[in-house]
Amino acid sequence: MREWLSSPLRVGSIALALGVALGLLIGYGVWPVEYTDVDPIDLSQPEQEAYMLLVGQAFTYDGDLALARQRLAALGRADYGVDVMRLAEEYAARPDKIGKVATALEALAEALRSGSQ
């Protein structure tokens, strides 16, 4: 055993492997990363779609088009009205989704298209 540990390269390799393994265990198991206060532009595609759904529902509730535009602009997309309309069409075509969601998105898309408040 003593002669096996006498090589600095072996000891260094073992220490490196153990350090990486311990780092991965701590980073993914014990203290995984938790994201908070993330900007909408940093969300993944499905999360951005969920965000658009929430903006549509909020617009249906309060009718504030300026606020809805501000919220959608946070996604960093040039033409978010097209994205909202596409999402509304997808939800309208899916029987497993609640009809109110598609209706809210369609109302928001129509308001964005017409520019009325």
Average pLDDT over residues 68-95: 85
Residue 21: HSE in the Cβ half-sphere, 13 Å Cα cutoff: 6
- For 66, the token pair is 């300026």
Note the pLDDT of residue 117: 47
Pick the closest to residue 57 from 16, 9, 12, 108 (CA basis). 108
The Cα 19–Cα 78 span in angstroms is: 45
Note the pLDDT of residue 114: 86
pLDDT digits (tens, 9 = 90+) for 8-57: 888 888 999 999 999 999 988 888 888 788 888 888 889 999 999 999 99
The Cα 51–Cα 110 span in angstroms is: 18
Query: CB–CB of 34/17 below 8 Å?
Result: no
